[in-house]
Amino acid sequence: MRTFHSPLPLGWVAAAVALALLAWQGHHLAHRLPQFEQMIEGLGPWGPVAFCAALLLLQPLFVPDTLFALAAGAAFGIAGGSACYFPAMYVMCLETQWLGSHLLKARVLRLLESRPQLGAVIRAAPKGGARFVFMVRLVPINQALVSYALGAAGVPLRAALAGNPALFTHTFPTLYFGAAAVHITRMAGTGHQQWERDGILLLLGLGVCVLLGLQIQRRAWAAITKRAPTKNAGT
């Protein structure tokens, strides 16, 4: 399992480069945005429904939650994407934890044997209750994997009900990035006429979200390792 010694992980460096490329060459893609927006609007109320259904079906199969967060921000914006994404993720986590505690418990326990560091963290979760679940959710591990593991370890759903909202802290910046990428592409298509006002505020907001999220993750990981010491190597 990764730790958080780097102040700016490579993933966010790559994201910053991607935004810079969109600001520079996004005009080549901007003409496709109206088609994309018309497609989403054409779905009407079924758009968010289809998105939530896809998340509930595919996330338990370990499709990266990053993809859904990016898609939510790009398709529905920051406010609309949050309204779709986070309730669906919350339900998915409870659904997957129930599967891990009942139908798939033996298989999940075998999986944890091959990931001793994750297993050490999850085994400490039942003792820590909702507070420990909250801290685990602050760390950006695949949320379906964490849910399966919490269920197999015997963490009650009532602890998850209180602890699962913590996943907001590290998934919101990704959702924000999806919305920012669309906005910057649109600005590139207009020659950056509103860059000074909208673009700078947008990027500042994203930077604040990322830096706060990383700080929270580091502190959460430090608190977790005090309860369940792990090695620094990845799982």
Q: What would the two tokens of residue 26 be?
A: 């996004």
Model pLDDT, residue 191: 54
Share of the chain above pLDDT 70, in %: 73
Share of the chain above pLDDT 90, in %: 22
Task: For residue range 29-60, list pLDDT tens digits in order.
Answer: 545 545 555 566 667 788 899 899 999 999 99
Model pLDDT, residue 235: 39
The whole-number average pLDDT for the span 68-97 is 92
Indicate the helix (H) or strand (E) that contains 123: helix 116-137
Asked if 189 and 33 count as a contact pair (C-beta separation under 8 A), the reply is: yes
Mean pLDDT, the chain, rounded, equals 77
Task: For residue range 135-153, list pLDDT tens digits in order.
Answer: 889 888 889 999 999 999 8
DSSP string, 161-178: HHHGGGGHHHHHHHHHHH
Give the gyration radius of the chain's Cα atoms. 19
Q: Who contacts 23 (Cβ-Cβ below 8 Å, separation ≥6)?
A: 184, 187, 188, 192, 195, 199
Q: What would the two tokens of residue 10 be?
A: 């490579």
Tell me the C-alpha distance between 32 and 13, whole Å: 26
The whole-number average pLDDT for the span 75-80 is 89
Other CB atoms within 10 A of residue 9 CB:
16
Checking 33-36 for CB contacts under 8 A at 24+ apart, the result is: 33/182, 33/185, 33/186, 33/189, 36/75
